[in-house]
Amino acid sequence: MNEMDIQTVTLERQGAVLVATVDNPPVNALSHSVRAGLVDAVEALESDPQAKALVIVCAGRTFIAGADIREFNKPLKEPRLGVLIERLDRCEKPVIAAMHGTALGGGLEIALACSYRVALESARFGLPEVKLGLLPGSGGIVRLPRLIGVEEALAMISQGNQVDAEHALETGLLDEVMADDLRAGALAFAERIVAEGGAIRRTSDLPVPTIEPGFLDAKRAEFAKKFKGLDAPQIAVDLVEMMSTTPFQEAAAREYATCKELIASPQSQALRHLFAAERAALKIDGVPAEVEPREIRTVAVAGPGVMGRGIAICFLNAGYPVVLLGKDEENLSKGVGGIRKILESGVKRGRMTQEAADEQMSHLTPTLDYADLGAVDLVVEAVTEDLATKKDVFARLDAALPDRAIIATNTSFLDIEALASSVTRPENVAGMHFFNPANVMKLLENVRAGRTAPDVLATITSVGKKIGKVPVMVGRSEGFVANRMLSKRSREAQFLLEDGATPQQIDKVLSGFGFPIGPFALADLAGMDVMAAARKARLAGMTPREQACDIVDKLAAAGRLGQKTGAGYYLYGDDRKPQPDPAVDELLAAHRAERGLPQREITDEEILERCLYAMVNEAAKIIDEGAAARPGDIDVIWTNGFGWPTHLGGPMFWANRIGLPNVKAALEKYSALVGEEYFRPANLIESLVAEGRGFYD
């Protein structure tokens, strides 16, 4: 073992059983010291005649959670994981993997190369490499299908999802599951194996499972839709096909070679960037790691409208009792009914059991009386987007709530400082900005106000994680971050219509880039009435050209509200597929004539650059203003909010890869073409280019 390494694997012998304990916080990742320590453990087993078996167990909260991601961009230090796996595979004495927490990636691959696998009933198992744009490289591809069959194995490899211990026992991944005391249970299991002769079982000796004809091609077609733009899921199918017709050692070598190629791939570098960025976003400026979040036992949601219902479900799903505060009986009963309907649809879709839905409904307490909030620790305010209404609700909450209760507004653009000023404890006020539908969308923009207490910021961050969101702290700014950047993309999309592009051309370019849906199909989904109302609310702050660009109003006035009326930017038949509509071409031609704008051929490149560079430039301004802490936060927001393709790493990562000098040059080109006020490069971009740096240097 390298003398620089700290000791992360300790060995002890209990009778005839050697026990190797891995202790490499926080997740027992397979750092060099762990790999070397486990190779030493196998060698000790083989060289000690008194030792008849080896148990590999981990300290801390989990079994090995995979290769150490932080080592991927560093020179590899032997022994690589494959060497350890081969030593385990060749070992002539039984090795038992004893697992708890999440046995993932290389950790599960180690277990697959052992003779036996036991686990706590709370343990979970997975090969999440694909979520990092990788694939298993140390036996996951060649061993897992042999153990649990191709269908189960390919599902785990291609989607990276975890399975629980019960399922793992059923499929043959595990030999035994125990309720508690894993070390003692694993030791007893090992002693039994030894007493019965110490038989070894090599997964590599198992026959290759049969593959139903057509199964793999069906998976290729399914994954092309399900994992649009992602390479690794398709390669997973190719590798499983390869392992089914290739001798084990050769297949293992090709698996490893593919993993190495993927580690160097742009997609994996983008996905690993997001993995790190999501965790970096949890570190809040001005909130030291030792600041304890407040204990949140009971939550209230004020405002049982569409957003309030989704927010209430987030907390119910996570096991919090929720008090739902309405303004009158009708409003409240509609809210309760809406929540029940969403939970019932979850049952119908098999996402939850009827018992779970009933249990969650039993934890919902509807009320019209603020006095019922006397024991609540956190209120999420989601009443109508009107400042006076919100200030009235805040004042009444302030009077009813205990001193330590947090009030978090879900507003998407109203001034959080004004709300904080309407209560006696502004340090308890923050924003928790959910995205519709709140119980589905992962992104949570947590908003810090000027006086928000550090432990309140820590609390809304930890609560955000507990309810399964991806929380990102943002500062004051109209539309915070996601909506503010989206408004620039929308502006350019509208201007491009005026300049001669069609809705279908723009949607095709942006969905071709990787967004789940183009801006105009999205507008038809949201409804032109909703879009017109949002435009009206922001009209005063718009530039003259934006104010005159009233295509949305014209469509709404013509009753073209989108999917809900069968026509908006597109026509919709029963299949709800958007079809170009000559009437829209006429409406646009009339608008352009009315505006007297010169018409020209618009290239796809111009559409992409104007829409996306406008967003990147706005993000740079947001960072300049301190409304976002770091470029990685912007990437996390857009890949979890409005569907920026994750394999491109987010807006800032994508722009950085293009090169900021190129981005600056394009901004200058469009400043001349569209207008300085829209494309003048942000100070941050100017300064980074001047210093020869990128967003992440």
Q: Give the residue numbers annotated as catalytic, written as ranges.
A: 109, 129
Window 260-279: residues binding ligand T1G (CB under 6 A): 279
DSSP notation for 462-524: HHHHHTT-EEEEE-S-TTTTHHHHHHHHHHHHHHHHHHT--HHHHHHHHHHHT-SS-HHHHHH
645 binds ligand T1G (CB under 6 A): no
* One of 129, 445, 546, 618 touching ligand T1G (CB under 6 A): 129
140 binds ligand T1G (CB under 6 A): yes
CB atoms within 10 A of CB 491: 21
134 binds ligand T1G (CB under 6 A): yes
89: Cβ contacts below 8 Å, ≥ 6 apart: 113, 139, 202, 203, 204
138 binds ligand T1G (CB under 6 A): yes
Cα–chain center distance at 564 = 30
471 binds ligand T1G (CB under 6 A): no
- Cβ 525 to ligand T1G, closest distance in Å? 32
Q: Nearer Cβ to ligand T1G, position 128 or 651?
A: 128
- Cβ 571 to ligand T1G, closest distance in Å? 44
SS (H, E, C) 508-567: HHHHHHCCCCCHHHHHHHHCHHHHHHHHHHHHHHCCHHHHHCCHHHHHHHCCCCEHHHCE
Q: Nearer Cβ to ligand T1G, position 81 or 634?
A: 81
For tokens 């069959």, what's the residue? Answer: 149
- Cβ 654 to ligand T1G, closest distance in Å? 22
First CA to last CA distance, the chain: 34
- Cβ 93 to ligand T1G, closest distance in Å? 24
* One of 55, 104, 237, 416 touching ligand T1G (CB under 6 A): 104
Interface region with ligand T1G, contact rule CB under 6 A, candidates 132-140, 534-542, 548-556, 669-677 = 132-140
The amino acid sitting at 259 is C
* One of 18, 39, 81, 416 touching ligand T1G (CB under 6 A): 81
Interface region with ligand T1G, contact rule CB under 6 A, candidates 21-29, 184-192, 346-354, 476-484 = 21-29
Interface region with ligand T1G, contact rule CB under 6 A, candidates 136-144, 331-339, 487-495, 544-552 = 136-144
464 binds ligand T1G (CB under 6 A): no
Q: Nearer Cβ to ligand T1G, position 468 or 559?
A: 468
> Which token pair is 411?
């507003």
479 binds ligand T1G (CB under 6 A): no
* One of 16, 44, 59, 69 touching ligand T1G (CB under 6 A): 69
> Which token pair is 317?
């799903």
Rounded to an integer, what distance in angstroms lies between the CA atom of residue 282 and that of residue 434?
Answer: 17
Q: Nearer Cβ to ligand T1G, position 136 or 471?
A: 136
70 binds ligand T1G (CB under 6 A): yes
CB atoms within 10 A of CB 529: 16
Rounded to an integer, what distance in angstroms lies between the CA atom of residue 145 and that of residue 362?
Answer: 42
The amino acid sitting at 651 is P
68 binds ligand T1G (CB under 6 A): yes
Interface region with ligand T1G, contact rule CB under 6 A, candidates 59-67, 240-248, 391-399, 482-490 = 59-67
* One of 37, 79, 137, 651 touching ligand T1G (CB under 6 A): 137
Interface region with ligand T1G, contact rule CB under 6 A, candidates 102-110, 325-333, 389-397, 524-532 = 102-110
Rounded to an integer, what distance in angstroms lies between the CA atom of residue 571 and that of residue 567?
Answer: 4
Are 234 and 224 in contact by the 8 Å Cβ rule? The answer is: yes
Are 493 and 506 in contact by the 8 Å Cβ rule? The answer is: yes
- Cβ 80 to ligand T1G, closest distance in Å? 9
- Cβ 108 to ligand T1G, closest distance in Å? 8
663: Cβ contacts below 8 Å, ≥ 6 apart: 613, 616, 655, 685
Interface region with ligand T1G, contact rule CB under 6 A, candidates 135-143, 559-567, 579-587, 684-692 = 135-143
> Which token pair is 534?
């949002």
Q: Nearer Cβ to ligand T1G, position 134 or 432?
A: 134
Interface region with ligand T1G, contact rule CB under 6 A, candidates 24-32, 210-218, 290-298, 575-583 = 24-32
Q: Nearer Cβ to ligand T1G, position 73 or 543?
A: 73
128 binds ligand T1G (CB under 6 A): yes
Rounded to an integer, what distance in angstroms lies between the CA atom of residue 560 and that of residue 503?
Answer: 14
408: Cβ contacts below 8 Å, ≥ 6 apart: 378, 379, 380, 381, 429, 430, 431, 432, 446, 460
> E strand or H helix at 378, and its extent?
strand 378-381
Are 537 and 554 in contact by the 8 Å Cβ rule? The answer is: no
681 binds ligand T1G (CB under 6 A): no
Residue ranges binding ligand T1G (CB under 6 A):
26-27, 29, 65-70, 81, 102, 104-106, 109, 128-129, 132, 134, 136-138, 140, 259, 279
